[in-house]
């Protein structure tokens, strides 16, 4: 399972190198599922549509109108581009979202935070969490040599659509599939002990070592990435690693354990 972050796919050249590395894995017999977000692409399209983005506790509040454009960016632009590149490389890529085949059932997410000593609940609109995963469609595609490319939109039982954090979405899918390796591609070399020192990458962390680092070393966008690794490992994934997606050769190196790459999270 590879989670491909939006910030790691801003360069077309690097995207093509990433596709080549995925092709190499696939040619060696690995069954690959690619999950992607697309924050920069969403931001660009919402701006073009004149829709202001409001963030609550780091989460984008999403109206029904905004969700139309978010889905357009994720499924139309990002997913379509990745599928095209993978197919041009000789793979059989299939573009999906969590809605297809009822793969992912969502539930509405609320942001809860303590303010003035009281717990307050904030409505985030069409933002959801993963409630349940059905891997039947993914298993069928993988068994027949296809490479699923999945974006993080899903519906609840009533048919309401939600945008789900791509890291958490990928972690749930990796766990449900019992993936051997779960790779989170971002735009840094891993978790840095000092954000200003690129050489301060933490190479290995056990699950119990994560919690004390939250708020100091683990901040901002790294929080959902590490939460997704924790979730995947607890559901049966064998190995989880955060690597630099702008260095596509890291993909094979992390899977094959050729050398210490990124930040590996283990049980």
Q: What is the pLDDT of residue 252?
A: 87
Question: Which bin fits 179, alpha (ψ -120 to 50), beta or left (φ > 0)?
Answer: beta
* Residue 59 burial (CB count, 10 A): 18
Distance of CA 156 to the CA centre of its chain: 20
For the segment 192-210, the average pLDDT, to the nearest whole number, is 91
Phi and psi torsions of 264, nearest 5°: -95, 135
Classified as helix, coil or strand, 24 is helix
For the chain, domains (ranges, CATH) are: 2-266 (3.40.1160.10)
pTM value?
0.93
Q: Do 255 and 30 contact (CB within 8 A), yes or no?
A: yes
> pLDDT digit string (tens) for 258-267?
777 899 999 8
CA 206 – CA 183 distance, rounded (Å): 16
> pLDDT digit string (tens) for 24-47?
999 999 999 999 999 899 999 999
């Amino acid at each position: 399972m590879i989670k491909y972050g939006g910030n790691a796919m801003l360069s077309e050249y690097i995207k093509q190198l990433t596709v080549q590395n995925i092709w190499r894995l696939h040619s060696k017999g690995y069954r690959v599922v690619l999950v992607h977000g697309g924050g920069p692409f969403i931001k660009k399209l919402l701006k073009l549509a004149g829709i202001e983005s409001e963030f609550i506790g780091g989460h984008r509040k999403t109206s029904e109108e905004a969700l139309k454009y978010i889905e357009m960016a994720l499924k139309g632009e990002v997913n379509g581009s990745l599928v095209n590149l993978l197919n041009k490389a000789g793979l059989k890529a299939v573009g999906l979202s969590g809605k297809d085949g009822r793969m992912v059932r969502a539930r509405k997410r609320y942001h809860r935070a303590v303010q003035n000593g009281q717990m307050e609940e904030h409505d985030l609109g069409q933002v959801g969490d993963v409630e349940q995963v059905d891997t039947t469609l993914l298993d069928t595609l993988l068994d027949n040599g296809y490479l699923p490319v999945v974006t993080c939109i899903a519906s609840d039982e009533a048919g309401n659509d939600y945008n789900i954090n791509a890291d958490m979405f990928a972690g749930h899918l990796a766990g449900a599939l019992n993936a051997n390796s779960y790779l989170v591609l971002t735009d840094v070399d891993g978790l840095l002990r000092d954000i200003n020192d690129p050489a301060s990458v933490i190479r290995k962390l056990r699950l119990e070592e994560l919690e004390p680092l939250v708020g100091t070393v683990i901040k901002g966008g790294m929080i959902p990435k590490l939460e997704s690794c924790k979730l995947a490992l607890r559901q049966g994934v064998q190995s989880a690693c955060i690597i630099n997606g702008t260095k596509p050769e890291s993909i094979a190196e992390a899977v094959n354990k050729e050398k210490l790459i990124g930040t590996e999270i283990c049980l």
